[in-house]
Structure 1
């Protein structure tokens, strides 16, 4: 036989019976894939929530800036009127009244500058959240923050929660994996049967002896049998450990179920509270507008003091800013509910299919 040999072989093993271990390992892999998919969905829902929140934060910033600018213009008009009345000696207007109105007007200019900065920051935050370049120019399709009651009720939201929430579905996948782990460990008590086969070929320049033409190629098929007799109770303890892990997860599942439902209820109560606040605040804002307008006309006729008209102007601006902030919080809690329930992506896909 020549000293140089080239041996090529291929082996194959086919499990015939594993006592359920094979199916248990497959189930664990499938459950882990599902858990990873739900983690990805949770990330998608968080991005959707952040983009929506930042979107309406930009609208809120624009509203607050507009409110501050209107307040500044009104205070400037009051300052000019106060200066005119003071110089003409009309009524009881004093220099202190003029200085007070001027102080308030200059302060409002600082507030306007602050809100302008907030608007640019909110735009930058929205662009960053959307994953766009920092120098991207965006234009919003809306100018107002919607104010309408939420269509779904609390019971419906809780029902959808356990169908769509990614945290809940991820935890269910973890429990399925834990159950499969028990089955895998129990398989350690069972015998295992498998088929194995081998093909081989020997290449050598010598054609006689051990490497003759008949012996250069070959194959064999065998059956293997493994029977666990005694392993020092290791398998039994592994089964108990897996069962304990499942019991722990099932206990945590109860806490998670109640915890997520409580988060939904908390957000739902806040949302309704903000809506009721917005309705009441709108009535208060209308009264503040009427009060400011009446004080301005009365001031022109020297029927009210300077501080009264300034207070009415400031009060209206504060009420208007608070009203827009409540509208934003109302929308924010809606987005939080959508994120918790987790059906935002499914609804958007449904709309896309219907549009097609």
Structure 2
């Protein structure tokens, strides 16, 4: 029953933790990383900028309309009394024709005199079109620049994604390493405490000296803070890992084996060639040089004229009252060709061209600088991996010798040829070498991933 209770307790403890694989960790990190999400929004903005610039090659159509009602009250001084020319005719001599003409003229003059209040209604509707015909290539260069810019943002997103994958992978395996180191330290401390109990028992029987007891106690005292440090390192590694994947759940623990990755069978020259062909940073630098070249061409296009076509069709009315009748409408059509030719601007265009030339040369220098840095990085990571692989082989041999030494010490002790202290020393040595062995595996994994990234490989 006691054994069953222990098993049930262990199962409950295990069920309290959420084990997560490397692939799941990388997926969560990409989903929750704020820098990567922000870079994705930059990519969307770059796409929309490209569409905005490209829209300038199409005709620009606008509908402009207005409808207004006006009512004006004139001052009293501006209001003229009605005119009646018939009052100036002599009734004795004026004929009926004279009165008729006088009334007609009076009506005509009164129609010219403003009345108060004056009411007026008007409406206008216009369809306007503008089409760029020639800009010296500036519009074409702007579209190409916007397209390259969005490609750069896409590459920048991929670069950030690679960085996140590499960092998440390293943290994942650092947690596995930290857990291994804690297990080794716990086993070593348990062995030291077991040895101390045996030595103290022998001391009570007078079989060992006080020096042997003191030595066993010092071993326990030395291993206890080492275990505490290993546990603290594991907690810190887990905390950093959970922050990296964007899930602050204290029950999340990485699940996997600390095993060697497939060996990268590649020479240094091959690595340099592959890296220079596939590195995203170098591709971005080349595209930056293309943008600088397009900027130079854009400034040089400032010497050429600009040509545009403009056309419009308008429908308008104007009435001396609020009501607009069907016969109040009029139409207007226009089409024109506009040209702008630069003659002299104080040599500003020449200065812009010279500045763009300098920017183009700077981009070329920057591209060469990136190439040199990438060569150096690949060389360093290549040598780091080869050193890590050699160190692993050494530690592997040390593990075999330490395990063999422990077997021999146990065999000598069982045959009463050796003493129990030899077994303890062999166990302590094996624990120390195990720490170095697991560390060497992690170094190979980390160095392999770093070299893969510096070669532009997807993993």
TM-score by length of 1: 0.85
In structure 2, the residue matched to 1:157 is 271
Q: Please state if 1:248 is matched with 2:362.
A: yes
In structure 1, the residue matched to 2:235 is 120
From the superposition, tell whether residues 163 and 3 of structure 1 become closer, same or farther in structure 2 (CA, over 3 Å).
Answer: farther
1:274–1:329 contact (8 Å) kept in structure 2 = yes
1:148–1:275 contact (8 Å) kept in structure 2 = no
In structure 2, the residue matched to 1:49 is 166
Match of 2:314 among 186, 200, 206: 200
Give 1:267 deviation, angstroms.
0.3
> How far apart, CA to CA, are the structure 1 residues paired with 2:269 and 2:418?
57
Secondary structure of 1:220's match? strand
TM-score by length of 2: 0.67
Q: How does 1:1-356 map to 2 (within 5 A)?
A: 3-90=120-207, 93-135=208-250, 137-140=252-255, 142-146=256-260, 148-206=262-320, 213=327, 216-295=330-409, 298=412, 301=416, 303=418, 306=421, 311-344=425-458
> How far apart, CA to CA, are the structure 1 residues paired with 2:327 and 2:280?
64
> How far apart, CA to CA, are the structure 1 residues paired with 2:316 and 2:253?
71
Which runs of no fewer than 5 residues in structure 1 stay unpaired? 349-356
Q: Residue deviations 1:130-178, cap 9 Å, x none?
A: 22243453451x2223255223443343333234322112111211110
Give 1:42 deviation, angstroms.
1.3
Give 1:287 deviation, angstroms.
1.2
Give 1:50 deviation, angstroms.
1.1
Secondary structure of 2:334's match? strand
> How far apart, CA to CA, are the structure 2 residues paired with 1:225 and 1:322?
78
Secondary structure of 2:252's match? coil
The structure with higher relative contact order (CA 8 Å, sep 6+) is: 1
2:120–2:319 contact (8 Å) kept in structure 1 = no
From the superposition, tell whether residues 206 and 338 of structure 1 become closer, same or farther in structure 2 (CA, over 3 Å).
Answer: farther
